[in-house]
């Protein structure tokens, strides 16, 4: 176990508390840099999605994790970023400009959504953001002159300073990784400055924040704008990765996936966004695998247990029918969220910290260290 001796105020400010962090993050970056030359193209494609989802996860963490404002409308912000890119690309606007424009426009719309949200708390805010997402979805489907309606829009290959960057090239992956790393560093900078602390203050007690001089309304709008802008940037990359976008890609389910990213990863740290993104991107192929192979496996097990060929075949078709039920994916997502909220509210990153502490303290770890208990309940709060 390492003990930190702080001798300078700088020690409270720096991003890496000690050199060990620099080494491990350096190694991680090195691994990520050589990944495209080692991994299969399928895994690379998954890794690009991890980067994009993690970027949205960080954006959502700023709003939900640190400012305490829930949002189920982030698919809409992603859509606005994606469609801005697709629309501007039609007029041969170069990538850096439409990338920034998409972020700026989404940020502006995020701020506009933030204003009505000032008067809403908790579940009402969730409903407001859901309705915002539906409005955006509807506009994308109906505003055919701009969005091409339900036929969707095709996005041309990304071209950066005259060089083509195909969506499955290592270059595109590096671009997504770069955006993610810059987002994370920017967010960390924000969190160690007055703005980030004001966000956390609003999350924990609006009354106290206000009495300390925080303009709560302004900072909530700022939080919405920043979160939306980052999601807009991710939307541009998302559009390029898919090369085709249509309104039915940006549904409530996608917003829920983003919420899952932060809930499962852990809402108190940026690590959570990355871990949650890995989880959500990898669960899809896993579910597909289950869907394809599970019926056969179960039938096989039934056959070995002595069931006749006919019964085994029956079981196989029943399981297959169940596995291809409509809405099964949504149900599984729901169950995952419930299980995490009940048993691991700190998410995957929280679990990782517990495992780490276990090894740091090895023979002395106490099982009750993370036992949840109510220490002190507030009687009355000013809202």
Partner 1 sequence: MSYFRAENLSLHFGGLKAVDAVSFAVEKGEILSIIGPNGAGKSSIFNLISRIYRPTSGRIFFEDQDITEQPPYDIAKLGIARTFQNIELFENATVLSNLLVGRHRHSTTQLWQELLFLPSVRANEKVHRRRVEQVIEFLDLEPYRDKLISGLPYGVRKVIELARALCSEPKLILLDEPSSGLNVEETDDMSFWIRDMKSELGITVLMVEHDMTLVNRVSDRVIALNYGRVLAMGSPAEVQQHPDVVAAYLGA
Under the binding rule (CB under 8 A), the answer on residue 82 touching partner 1 is no
Binder among 30, 212, 332, 339 for partner 1 (CB under 8 A)? 212
Residue 266 neighbours by CB under 8 Å, 6+ apart: 272, 275, 276, 346, 347, 348, 349, 350
Q: Which of 19, 41, 145, 379 binds partner 1 (CB under 8 A)?
A: 379
Q: Does 10 bind partner 1 (CB under 8 A)?
A: yes
Pick 50 or 198: Cβ nearer partner 1: 198
Cβ-based neighbours of 360, under 8 Å, separated by 6 or more: 1
Smallest gap from Cβ 272 to partner 1, in A, equals: 14
**Within 10 A of 364 (CB to CB), how many other CB atoms are there?**
8
Q: Does 196 bind partner 1 (CB under 8 A)?
A: yes
Could you tell me the smallest distance in angstroms from the CB atom of residue 214 to partner 1?
A: 5
Between CA 223 and CA 111 the distance in angstroms is 8
The least distance separating partner 1 from the CB of residue 20, rounded to whole angstroms, comes to: 18
Q: State which of residues 46, 108, 210, 353 lies at the interface with partner 1 (CB under 8 A).
A: 210
Is 378 a residue that touches partner 1 (CB under 8 A)? yes
H helical segments located in the chain? 10-13, 19-34, 41-60, 74-90, 95-117, 122-142, 144-147, 170-191, 194-204, 206-211, 216-242, 252-265, 270-304, 309-323, 328-343, 347-360
Binding test (CB under 8 A) with partner 1, winner from 88, 214, 263, 299: 214
Lay out the site mask for partner 1 across 15-54 (x = CB under 8 A, - = otherwise).
----------------------------------------
- CA 374, 378, 380 angle in degrees (round to 5)? 160
* Residue 141 burial by Cβ neighbours in a 10 Å radius (0-12, 13-18, 19+): middle
Q: Binder to partner 1 among 150, 157, 215, 317 (CB under 8 A)?
A: 215
Contact status: 288 vs partner 1 (CB under 8 A): no
Give the separation between CA 186 and CA 184, rounded to whole angstroms.
5
Calpha distance 329→319 (Å, rounded): 15
Instruction: State the SS3 of 207-265.
Output: HHHHHCCCCHHHHHHHHHHHHHHHHHHHHHHHHHHHCEECHHHCCHHHHHHHHHHHHHH
Query: Which one, of 264, 192, 240, lies nearest residue 184 by Cα?
Result: 192
CB of 103 to partner 1, least distance (A): 13
Per CB under 8 A, contacts with partner 1 among 218-247 are: 222, 226
Q: Is 61 in the site for partner 1 (CB under 8 A)?
A: no
Residues in the interface with partner 1 (CB under 8 A) total: 39
Q: Which of 112, 184, 197, 313 binds partner 1 (CB under 8 A)?
A: 197
Instruction: Select from 21-29, 280-288, 351-359, 372-380 the region that touches partner 1 (CB under 8 A).
Output: 372-380
Does 60 bind partner 1 (CB under 8 A)? Our answer is no
The verdict on 195 binding partner 1 (CB under 8 A) reads yes
Q: What is the contact surface with partner 1 in residues (CB under 8 A)? A: 9-10, 12-13, 186, 189-190, 192-198, 200-201, 203-205, 207-216, 222, 226, 268, 375-376, 378-382
């Amino acid at each position: 176990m390492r003990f930190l001796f702080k001798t300078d105020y700088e020690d409270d400010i720096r991003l890496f508390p000690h050199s060990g962090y620099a080494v491990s993050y350096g190694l991680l970056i090195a691994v990520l840099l050589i990944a495209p030359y080692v991994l299969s193209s399928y895994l690379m494609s998954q890794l690009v999605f991890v980067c994009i989802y993690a970027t949205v996860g960080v954006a959502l963490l700023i709003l939900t994790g640190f400012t305490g404002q829930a949002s189920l409308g982030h698919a809409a912000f992603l859509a606005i970023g994606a469609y801005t890119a697709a629309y501007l690309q039609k007029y041969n606007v170069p990538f850096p400009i439409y990338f920034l424009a998409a972020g700026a426009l989404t940020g502006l719309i995020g701020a506009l959504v933030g204003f009505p949200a000032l008067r809403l708390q908790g579940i009402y805010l969730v409903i407001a953001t859901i309705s915002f997402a539906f409005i955006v979805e509807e506009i994308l489907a109906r505003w055919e002159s701009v969005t091409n309606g339900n036929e969707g829009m095709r996005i041309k290959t990304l071209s950066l300073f005259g060089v083509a960057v195909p969506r499955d090239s290592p270059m595109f992956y590096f671009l997504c990784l770069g955006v993610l790393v810059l987002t994370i560093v920017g967010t960390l900078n924000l969190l160690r400055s007055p703005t980030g602390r004001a966000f956390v203050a609003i999350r924990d007690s609006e009354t106290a924040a206000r009495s300390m001089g925080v303009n709560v309304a302004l900072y909530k709008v700022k939080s919405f704008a920043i979160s939306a802008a980052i999601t807009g940037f991710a939307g541009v990359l998302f559009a390029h990765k898919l090369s085709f976008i249509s309104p039915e890609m940006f549904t409530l389910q996608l917003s829920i996936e983003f919420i899952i990213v932060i809930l499962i990863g852990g809402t108190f740290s940026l690590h959570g966004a990355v871990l949650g993104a890995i989880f959500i991107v990898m669960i899809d192929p896993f579910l597909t695998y289950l869907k394809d192979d599970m019926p056969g496996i179960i039938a096989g097990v039934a056959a070995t247990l002595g069931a006749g060929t006919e019964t085994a075949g029956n079981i196989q078709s029943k399981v297959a029918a169940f596995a291809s039920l409509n809405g099964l994916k949504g149900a599984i997502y729901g169950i995952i969220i419930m299980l995490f909220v009940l048993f691991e509210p700190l998410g995957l990153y929280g679990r990782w910290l517990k495992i780490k502490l276990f090894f740091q303290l090895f023979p002395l770890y106490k099982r009750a260290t993370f036992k949840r208990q109510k220490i002190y309940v507030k009687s009355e709060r000013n809202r």
